[in-house]
Structure formats: C-alpha cells, structure tokens
Chains A and B, each alone.
Chain A
Amino acid sequence: MIEVEALTKRYGGFTAVRNLSFSVRPGEVLGLVGPNGAGKTSTLRCLAGVIPASAGTIRIAGHDLATDPVAAKRALAFFPDEPRLFDYLTVRQHLAFVARIYGVARHEELAKPLLEELELVEKADVLPGELSRGMKQKLVIACGLLHSPSVIFFDEPLTGLDPLAIRRMKDSIMRRARGGAAIVLSSHLLHLLEEVCTHVLILKKGDKVADGTIAEVAAQFSNGEPDVNLEEVFIRATGGSET
C-alpha cells in the first residue's frame, strides 16, 4: 500500500513536484506518465526514499517514510532506469549481499528460480562488466525481487531489454500485482502502461493533471469520443507535449 499526501519536491527555487496526493492499493499498478521534466523521476525517487521530500507525507506499507524509513524501505524495491551495480561483485555475490542487507534467509533457494526466470544462471559467476545492459537490468530486478517486496517502483523498466525479456517483465509485473504488490511504473511507453496498469497518473510540470483508472482518465479527456487510447489522452492532457 502506498499513500502519498501533498508531496512536494523543490530543488532550490525550482519546484519539481507540487502538492501531489494519490494512493496505490495492493494489487494495483499505477502508471506514472508525463512529458520530460514533469517530475516523474523526482516523484519515484521521493517515494523510494532516495531523495527527501521537501513537504508532504509518504507511507509505504503503513510506515511513514520520513519517521520510520527502515521499516518502510524493508517493504519496497526500487528499480532505477540505469542499472547500478557493484563492479567487483559477481551476479551470485550481488544476490548474497542483498540477502544479507534485507535479512533474507535461505536466499539461495529464492535466488535460483529468479536467476532461471531472468536467464542469468549461466552468468551467475561473472562480474557486471561482462554483462550486457539488458543482463545488468535483469540482475537489478533479481536483486530487487529477492526480498519479495510488497511495494515496487519501476523507472523505465523496459529500457535495454530484448522483446522476450520485455514480455517476461510485463508478465512478472502483472504476476506481482496479482500477488498483492502495489506497483508504480514510470514509462514513456504508453502501450506498455495500457497493457499493464490498472491506474494512471499524469503529471505536467510537477502538477497532477489526471489520476484514476485508465477508463476514468480516458473518459475525462475523451470529449465524448469512444475508444480514445492512452496516447491520445496523454497528448490532450499535457497540451500536446511530446513524451
């Protein structure tokens, strides 16, 4: 469960996110969309506790991120757009390290199916330098999912993945949601969001433009037209800005 109330993020005199409120319940997948510079990454980073919010409250799985960050972070996983790995830890050692940080007992049993699912078994003993970008992305995902988080944040999760991996990733996101995870997904790939998300939140210059189920948001910007897709909704909502 993610509860965000009046979230504001300022960088000096510039406000990246202004008074943002929304919630994501277990089983829901929220798509965070907006033009470049809308505040998507700032929002995700605040939600994951990577950067502090300037104002507002964020509750992750019932824990206030500001006052009880350790408990809140224990429940979440954050996947940044750029895979960041430790240069001298092999794939298997990354999993062992993360297991210790999150206190995951019997992590080897959990890691095995993850590595198989992400096709990393053959690369288990190599360093990140020998992995392709897609493989690195998969390793980051494996590390993030090892502690079975109930709240997951994805920032452009499909970057660098091959078509098969994209399909698997989409399946994985939906499976996690069906398993009760609350997921927030930021992406410019609107067809992905249409396919995967139950809800959508559109940001523009740090302000919330629309929020609700895809059908509700579509209805809000359809002008009475039937079958308006998310791309059209996005263009109308953001005043024609490119993604």
Chain B
Amino acid sequence: MIGALLYLRLMSLRNLVVYRIGRLRQPKYLVGTAVAVAYFYFVLLQRPAMQGVPAAGRAPAVAGAGMIGMALVCVGMSALALIRIAFAWIAPADKPALRFSEAEIAFLFPAPVTRRALIHFRLLSAQFAILFTSVLMAFFFNRLGNVGGNRAQQAVGWWVVLSTYDLHLNATNLTLARLREKASGFLLWRAAAVAAIVLYAIAVAWSAASFAGGIQPGDLASARGADGLVPGLLRSSPLRWLILPFSIVFGPYFAAGMRDFGLAMIPALLLLALHYYWVSSSEASFEEGSIALAEKRTAARAAVQRGELPSIGSSRPRGRAGPFPLSPSGPPETAFLWKNLLSMRSSLLNRRTVLVFLWIILCVSLGLRPLLAEYARSNRAEAYGLLIVAFCGIVAAYTLLIGPQITRQDLRNDLQNAEILKTYPIEGWRLALGELLAPTAVLSLVLWICIIVSIFALDPKGEARWLTPGVRVTIILCLGSAAPLLCLMQLIVPNAIMVLLPAWYQASRSRGAGIEMFGQRLIFGVAQFLLALLVAVPAACAAALIIFSLQWVFGAVPAIAMASAVVLAILAGEAAVGLWWIGWRFEKFDLSMDK
C-alpha cells in the first residue's frame, strides 16, 4: 500500500516538474524563473563579504558572532515550537487533524487503506516539503555565520530539526484526539501537560538567567570570550540537562566536522525514530478533522488568490451594514466606493471607527506638543522628535509602496466579476475611478495621520525659525491634499499592469506555484517601485524648482502653497490619464483571451 502511495507522490512530483519546465516556454514564466534564480544566487548562494574580508578568512570574533546569532535563532525556534505545542494542549482543536489535500481525502479516505497507512502517507508527503525547506534553510542561514559543518551537513541538520518537530506536532494532535475519544481524564491530561511545559519553560529561563548573570562585559568583547559563550551556556548545569532534547535535535546542525556530525546523528535519529513510533502507533481518529482542515485551507488559499487575507478563526463572515447609506441616484462611482469599503471588512471602516480615529489623531496632535515641550528642557527632545518623524516617514513610505499590494479591493479583486462589470452601463474611466476610490481613501487616511503627527513632532524646541505654526499648517494642508492623489497613482500602477498584462498578473497572484511565481512577484514589485518614482519625478522637480525660486521673493508659505498647487495639478493630470487608460483598456480587453 505504501508503494502505491509513494507512486502517487512521486508521479505527482514528476508531473509537476515536467509541467513547470514545460510552461517555461511561455515568456512570463521564463522571465520569472530567470529573475528568481538570479535573486537566489545573489541572496542565498553568495556569502556577503564582511568589510572586505573574504568569508574564509573572517576573524574568530565574526565567526563567534555567527555562532551566537545561530544559537539565538535556534533558541527562538525552540521557544516557538514549545509555544506551539503548549497551545495544542491548551486549546486543542475540536477535531484533531492531519494535513491532507481535498483530492487526497477524496481518493484515499474511501479507499481500502488502513488508518496507519494514511498516517504513513501523511508523513511521507510532509518529507518532500521538509527536504526542500531544509536545503533552503541551509543556504539561507549559512549566510548569517559559519556554524561548523558544510552545507550538506547543515541541510541534514535542518531535516532532523524539521522532521522531529513535524512528528512531534502530529503525535501531539493524535494523542489529543485519542484522549478526547476516551473522554475520561481528558482535561486532567491536558492540565498536566500544560503544567509540565510551563514548569519546563520556567526552569530553562531560570537556568539561562543564572548563567547570563555570571557573564562579564569583557567576555562579549573579546574573541575568545564570544567563542566560548555558546558552548559555555550549553554546558552549564542544570541547563545542559534541561535542554538535552533540543541539544540532541540541533546537534547535527551545529556539529563541526564529519566525526562530530556522525556522533550527533545517532541520538538525533534515535529521537526521531521514537517520535515516528509514537505517531505510527496511534489509533486516533483523524478523518473528520482532516476533512474540515482541508476545506479551511482551500478556502484560505482561495481568499489569498482573491487578494484577501484569510479569515482568522473558523467563523464564517457575516453580512454587515454599509459604510454609509447608498441612495439609488447619484454618481455610480460612489456605489463602487460603498461596495469596496464593505468588502474591506466594513466593521473596521465604519463612521464610528473613523470618528474615533480622528479623535485619537486630534488628541495625539494636541498632546504631542506639551509632551515635546517638556522634553525640550532636556537634550533628548530633538531625538524624540526625529524618532517620531522617522517612524511616520517609514509608515508613510510603506503605505505608499506596500499599501497598494495589501488594499486590493479594486479592479484587481473584481477581475473575477469582470463578466458582470462589463455589462454595466458606465464609461470605463468611471468604473476604474469607482473601483480605486476605496483603497485610495484608506491609504490616504493613513498618510494624513503620518503627515499630521510628523509635522507637529518636527523641531520640538522651535529652533528652526522658518518652521512657524503657519508653515506647519501649510505643509500639512499641502501634503494632505497631495496624499490622495499619490495613493491613487500608486493604485493606478498595479491596476494598469493588470489590465495591460492580465495573464502575467493572474499568474503572479497564484499562490505557492514555484520559483517562477516568486520571480514574477519580484518583477511586479520592482516595476511598481520604478513606476512610482517615474510618476513622482515631474511633480517633485516642479515643486523643488518653484519653492527654491519663489521663496526668496514671496516667502516660504506662499512658495510652498504655489508649489503644492502645481504638484496637485501634475498629479491630477497623471491620475486622469491613468484612469482614462485603465478604463479604455478594460473596455477593450477580451476576457476570454486572457484566461
């Protein structure tokens, strides 16, 4: 039976590879693959030369720093694994499940296959993903620092770590399922398991803290001290006994040479075998839960492909009141704004929330001034002000660059409904404008908050004489009025790419479809960035020229106002052309040709 399941898995893999290679004949996949390969080559395979020192000739301190970094990564991973397992005991699923696809359920569950064979199939299936991830992690973490072994050893090391975790989690779920089936003592077992995990975590934290308390500041600075820090920590009692299971699991990864690696593999494989026995000997019923899990995963994948975030929890979405009353007459663009705001989880964007948000902005803006005035007495005020400005600048930049990729409730999300949209009696540009209004509104709101907060946080001591309250208000008004147009332009770019190259765009949205998809997403990301720069250049140049030349004549405030008027005109013109073009293209493009 396992032979048949192995055949299914291997044939599926082979056909997938053949299919992927075959579709490289299409330029969109070929280019995507080339870009992704180049990216992985430069990011994963090329070790960064630190300060001009070749990788092989790095100072011991650098190697020690790498070891500490990797040790911290592994500690973090172990902690996350522990939390995940504790969570499984604290809040077990109603129907514990193993991960099968819907097709696997449809074919294998009704088939004459034992439950144990299904478990084996599940474990076998997971191995393909684990092997791939292990190789990827070996290359990725190899960049952070040398932990001793070569990449092959590190890949095997990661395989041990990931396989043990996968087996442990499955074993936990199946044990929970079995305990639930027995009903009696279910709560008691869970309470005991959670208590054990919590006590274990406290003991580990206490032991590590004791060791950390004994470290001298000089130890970190010296190469020898840094080198010996990690082994010292791992050898300290009682920590070495407490973390023994984790040491065994991570042992092969940290092994320095072939001999150490071989010695580390023996306990690691024994532990793995114990886990395997634990899982494969389970008699728990997992079918019902697995079906529910498969349906949930399919729904989540469909949501991602629609450009939405998969819903948290299992509750089904409910109908909500519209963001505002929609009258039957008026511009049709408003109907699209209304519809798309609704689909953006209108509970977050209703009037009450917006009012609360505005109230908070007002309070923060007013409250910030006295706060900064207080700090102005100390020399830290400037730093705090700059910190806030920098923070707002980062948020604003992310909003402009990443925001359009998150707020997809526009033409991109409605492409699936294009058949209906195209029957509506509306000009293309109006449909495009309507579709883009909702994400523009949301992104603009974020930008306005950033602008208001950062302008009030600027120069808290009031040392810059030119930054009068009038200038501050003028800058807020000017930037604030330009923000919606900037957001609109940023949204026009991906929508224009979508109607220009719908097949490329759709391909880039499909999830988990390989290296070529990753490459395409990279291309779209870079294209978005470059186009954003391109549309901003004329407006920025004009603004700079006007402010520079007119401020000497009329003063800062009128110069900024005049520059912003020109910027608004340029951005509005660009947006109008973009909307008209998207509308025209949407009217003309043939849905059936692009599927």
Contacts and interface: CB of A to CB of B under 8 A. Distances in A.
Interface of A: 11-12, 42, 45, 48-52, 69-74, 76-78, 80, 84-90, 93, 96-97, 99-107, 125-127, 129-130
Interface of B: 306, 316-320, 322, 326-330, 332, 334-335, 338-339, 342-343, 345-346, 414, 416-420, 422-427, 587-588, 590-593
Nearest to A77: B423
Given A90-B319, A100-B332, A73 B425 contact: yes
A85 B419 CA distance: 11
A42 B592 contact: yes
Given A42-B592, A50-B591, A100-B335, A86 B343 contact: yes
A12 B593 CA distance: 8
Given A84-B419, A86-B414, 11 more contacts: A45-B592, A50-B591, A70-B425, A72-B425, A86-B339, A87-B343, A93-B342, A97-B326, A97-B338, A103-B329, A105-B328
A126 B591 CA distance: 30
Contact of B318 (A74, A77, A93, A127): A127
B326 A101 contact: no
* Ranked 8 nearest A-B pairs via Cβ: A90-B319, A100-B335, A88-B343, A74-B425, A73-B425, A99-B328, A70-B425, A50-B422
A221 to B, nearest CB: 31
A104 B419 contact: no
A84 B328 contact: no
Contact of A73 (B327, B345, B424): B424
Name the residue in B330, B422, B588, B593 with the highest tally of chain A Cβ atoms < 10 Å from its Cβ.
B422
A87 B306 contact: yes
A163 B328 CA distance: 34
A49 B423 contact: yes
Given A93-B322, A129-B316, A51 B591 contact: yes
Given A84-B416, A125-B319, A130-B316, A100 B328 contact: yes
12 contacts: A42-B592, A50-B422, A80-B419, A87-B317, A88-B342, A89-B339, A97-B335, A100-B328, A104-B328, A105-B328, A107-B328, A130-B316
Contacts of A84: 416-417, 419-420
Nearest to A76: B423
A107 B327 CA distance: 10
A102 B425 contact: yes
Contacts of B427: 70
A11 B592 CA distance: 8
Contacts of A126: 319
A207 to B, nearest CB: 19
A59 B461 CA distance: 71
Nearest to A102: B425
A49 B422 contact: yes
A13 to B, nearest CB: 12
Nearest to B306: A87
A193 B560 CA distance: 70
Contacts of A78: 419-420, 423
A45 B318 CA distance: 33
Contacts of A48: 422-423
Contacts of A104: 328
Contacts of A77: 423
A87 B343 CA distance: 7
A80 B418 CA distance: 12
Given A73-B425, A129-B316, A101 B417 contact: no
Contacts of A96: 322, 326, 328
Contacts of A11: 590, 592-593
Contact of A101 (B322, B416, B422, B426): B426
A70 B327 CA distance: 21
B588 A52 contact: yes
Contacts of B334: 100
Interface centre among A70, A86, A105, A125 (most CB of B within 10 A): A86
B343 A71 contact: no
B423 A127 contact: no
A51 B423 contact: no
A28 to B, nearest CB: 21
Nearest to A90: B319
Contacts of B320: 88
Nearest to B330: A100
A88 B424 CA distance: 19
A86 B317 contact: no
Given A11-B593, A51-B590, A100-B330, A89 B343 contact: yes
A50 B318 contact: no
B319 A50 contact: no
A71 B424 CA distance: 10
A101 to B, nearest CB: 5
B425 A101 contact: yes
A78 B587 CA distance: 17
